[in-house]
Amino acid sequence: MDTQQNIKHILLADDDYVMRRLFGSQLSLAGFEVLYATNGNELFEMALHFQPDLIVTDINMPHTDGITAAYKLRANPQTENISIIFLTNSDISKETEKVMKEFVGASYISKSIDLVDFVEQVKKIFDIINI
C-alpha cells in the first residue's frame, strides 16, 4: 500500500515566522505534509496550485488578510471546497464567529491553544470532512 496517498496536506499561512514554524512543526510531527504561506496573496496562489486538504490561516496578515483570502477561495470553483480554519490571537465575538461560519464556512482556533490540543483539533476536522 502506498502511504504517500494517505498523507494529508495542510497549507499554513501566517506572517509570523515563529508561529508558522511552531504550529507547522507540530503538524509535521503528527504526520501531515505542511506547506507555508506568509500572507493572503501567497495563500490564495498556493491553494490554487497545490489544492491542499486543509488551510490553517492567521486572520491579520499584510497585503491580504486571512478573511479576504478565504472569501476569494470560496468564490473560486477550484478552491471553494477546501476546509479553512482561522488561527488567531484576536478575540472573536459570537457574531463574528457566526459570520465566519455562514459566509466563509470556516472555524477558528486561538493561537494560545496547547499544541497537542491544536493537533487534535486538526485531526477532528479531518474526521468531520472525511478525507
pLDDT digits (tens, 9 = 90+) for 24-81: 999 999 999 999 999 999 999 999 999 999 999 998 898 888 888 998 999 999 999 9
C-alpha grid cell, residue 107: 472555524
CA atoms of 107 and 84, how far apart (whole Å): 7
pLDDT at 129 over 60: yes
CA atoms of 86 and 57, how far apart (whole Å): 5
Phi then psi for residue 7, to 5 deg, are: -75, 130
Q: Which domains does the chain have, with CATH numbers?
A: 7-126 (3.40.50.2300)
Do residues 70 and 84 touch, judged by C-beta distance below 8 A?
A: yes
More confident residue, 128 or 57: 57
- Does this model's pTM top 0.85? yes
CA atoms of 55 and 52, how far apart (whole Å): 7
CA atoms of 35 and 33, how far apart (whole Å): 7
